[in-house]
Amino acid sequence: MFRYKSFLEARLADVLNIKGEGELTDQIRKIKDMKFEFEKNLVKLITLNKRLNGKKMQFKIEWNDSVSHDLVKRISNRTSFRSVSEFNDFFKKFINKIFPDMVGKELHTGRYGFYSVEYNITLIIDFDINKYNKGNYEIRVVTILPGRIAKNIIDFIDINESFAIFDI
């Protein structure tokens, strides 16, 4: 029996068939055939591009990463990123799209599903506005999911990125 859900979670690289010759097809084939690189750790501190009251803001990131919930392996299996470094670059830019502009408006205390339109992934993130207002800038990343799905969240927030992570 065909498992439709598995097809929905397929990455472009899993179904991509490259035909032709030339430099561009060689580059695309090289990117497609790359294996995920686990060489780095997930980022733990992010300095925001925008300032709050003239002060730099640094977010402490807590990852739900354990033996039973290997977040790096989930990033490898559920996204099109090819390394932890590439994901970290995406994540830093992603967080800069959210903070501080959405705090107190779209974002309050609780668990949210942040959907990346460009990468078709959902980051489930916990946030406490009371700690934020006291100058304790931290978030907890619960998990990463393929597509726009989540359970037990306050709301989905779609983030339409206008940045590129790498050049082809």
Residues 17-55 have pLDDT tens digits of 666 677 777 666 666 666 677 778 899 999 988 877 778
Q: Count of domains in the chain?
A: 1
Residues 121-164 have pLDDT tens digits of 999 999 998 888 888 889 999 999 999 999 999 999 998 876 44
Would 1 be classed as within a structural domain?
Answer: no
Would 80 be classed as within a structural domain?
Answer: yes
Would 93 be classed as within a structural domain?
Answer: yes
Would 140 be classed as within a structural domain?
Answer: yes
Alpha helices in the chain (DSSP H): 4-8, 12-15, 23-33, 71-78, 84-98, 129-133
Q: How confident is the model at residue 6 (pLDDT cuts 50, 70, 90)?
A: very low
pTM above 0.85, yes or no: no
pLDDT for the residue 18: 60
* Residue 82 domain boundaries: 35-159
